[in-house]
A and B are shown apart, each in its own frame.
Chain A
Amino acid sequence: DAGVTQSPTHLIKTRGQHVTLRCSPISGHKSVSWYQQVLGQGPQFIFQYYEKEERGRGNFPDRFSARQFPNYSSELNVNALLLGDSALYLCASSLGGASGNEQYFGPGTRLTVT
């Protein structure tokens, strides 16, 4: 079975632009979470979605938004990009629900803002 996939792999944007990152979860997984990992730091939680509903939101500005589609894939959108948004963006999927399951991560999208 395929793991979590993310696209694109790398992306270069200019300050002020917006970006859309995409994630496809492991087949059968209904929960998707997004994390931002700045160089040299641990990942920071951005959003969690389960069954197309937002289940959690980290301490990120409103420029960050996300959604989950009926096929459980997800998009992360970032508007008005800042230099500080340069990071590795990681998507994780899990079965979700009441069973409390481990999250499996994709390879990430490396975003560079110039």
Chain B
Amino acid sequence: AQKVTQAQTEISVVEKEDVTLDCVYETRDTTYYLFWYKQPPSGELVFLIRRNSFDEQNEISGRYSWNFQKSTSSFNFTITASQVVDSAVYFCALSPYYGGSQGNLIFGKGTKLSVKP
């Protein structure tokens, strides 16, 4: 079975603190995609990153960084110097890879991040 676990339900930090959101996934597939999405209070899911299972390189984009470790089935997300605008629910998701095309997204339950001024 495929599953995504985000053990942290809610995290509260003060502005400028660094924060890491954990994501652990389960799959028997050897090829798959991992994603992070942000859902602000408006409700729209905002795509942040996609990573395929062949690429374990960490990625940095501005204040955001992602750590993919296949050995521990984890795909963690770190926000450096958090800002109030980072307050949102963050979802980690897994997608199978069928015959060259991406399948449906399997989401975790999300982590609600509150950044206080």
Q: Which A residues lie within 8 Å of B43 (CB)?
A: 88, 107-108, 110
Within 8 A of B (CB), among A73-114: 88, 90, 92, 94, 96-108, 110
Place the interface of chain B in its size category: 20 to 34
Within 8 A of B (CB), among A41-99: 41-45, 48, 50, 55-56, 58, 88, 90, 92, 94, 96-99
Q: Is the interface of B mostly helix, strand, loop or mixed?
A: strand
Q: What is the number of residues of chain A that contact chain B, defined by CB distance less than 8 Å? A: 31
Which one, A40, A90, A98, A99, contacts B45 given CB within 8 A?
A90
CA distance A98 to B103 in the complex (A): 11
- Asked if B77 is at the interface (CB within 8 A of a chain A CB), the reply is no
Contacting pair B35 A102 (CB below 8 A) = yes
Q: Which B residues lie within 8 Å of A42 (CB)?
A: 4, 91, 93, 107-110
Within 8 A of A (CB), among B64-117: 91, 93, 97, 99-110
With CB as the reference atom, state the residue of chain B lying closest to A4: B44
A93 to chain B, nearest CB (A): 11
With CB as the reference atom, state the residue of chain B lying closest to A109: B43
Q: Which B residues lie within 8 Å of A48 (CB)?
A: 103-104
Q: Which B residues lie within 8 Å of A103 (CB)?
A: 47, 102, 105
Contacting pair B47 A100 (CB below 8 A) = no
With CB as the reference atom, state the residue of chain A lying closest to B102: A100
CA distance A69 to B110 in the complex (A): 32
A-B contacts, 18 of them at CB < 8 A, read A33-B104, A42-B4, A42-B91, A42-B108, A43-B105, A45-B105, A94-B102, A99-B100, A100-B52, A100-B97, A100-B100, A101-B102, A102-B35, A103-B105, A106-B44, A107-B42, A107-B44, A108-B43
**Which 10 A-B pairs rank lowest in CB-CB distance, beginning with the nearest?**
A42-B107, A98-B100, A105-B45, A45-B104, A100-B102, A107-B44, A102-B50, A42-B109, A56-B104, A43-B107
